[in-house]
Structure 1
Amino acid sequence: MDSPALLDVVVLLIDIPAEKLRKGSLGTIVETFDNGNFLVEFANLNGVTYAMPVLSATQLMKVYQEPIAA
């Protein structure tokens, strides 16, 4: 499995009630940090950001929209 990178779409693996986020929420990595953490933007269907927490790779799973290249 690839490590998440800038602009990857990710899914949240845990609930974060303080940010009003639940497991399964989709976000986009907008910044990466040297310590292995990521700033992730969560936005609604209108593109309005509703949360931007710093998360670790263990809290995220990269989303794939294309099959593995043969």
Structure 2
Amino acid sequence: MRTPIKLLDVVALIVDLPEYNLWRGQVGTVVEILAGGTSFEVEFSDRDGRTYESVGLRPDQIIVLHYEPLMAYPELTAVSA
């Protein structure tokens, strides 16, 4: 199951986009949700925070990055009172 893409999610490209000089593995931030969630404006910045590209992408072109473990089945770990 893919993680839903939300505003300000950190994402990585899973395809090369040579027309934008962007390559698989580059990391960007979702800055706008377009067309009811069928595409996303993703901003790519350098280490100093300067944007070098901003491009509209489809969900099949990016993957959400996670910085902590995800629970596969959170409903199974709920504590009953």
TM surpasses 0.5: yes
Name the counterpart of 2:50: 48
Alignment of 1:13 with 2:14, yes or no, is yes
Normalization by structure 2: what TM-score? Answer: 0.81
Name the counterpart of 2:64: 62
Name the counterpart of 1:31: 32
* Number of equivalenced pairs: 70
Question: For the pair shown, which has the larger CA radius of gyration, 1 or 2?
Answer: 2
Which sections of structure 1, spanning at least 5 residues, go unmatched?
none
Higher relative contact order (CA 8 A, sep 6+): 1
Give me the CA root mean square deviation.
1.2
Larger relative helix fraction? 2
Q: Measure the CA separation in 1 of the matches of 2:14 and 2:50.
A: 22
Normalization by structure 1: what TM-score? Answer: 0.93
CA shift digits 1:11-63 (9 cap, x unpaired): 00011111110000000000001151000000000001011010000000000
Identity score, percent: 36
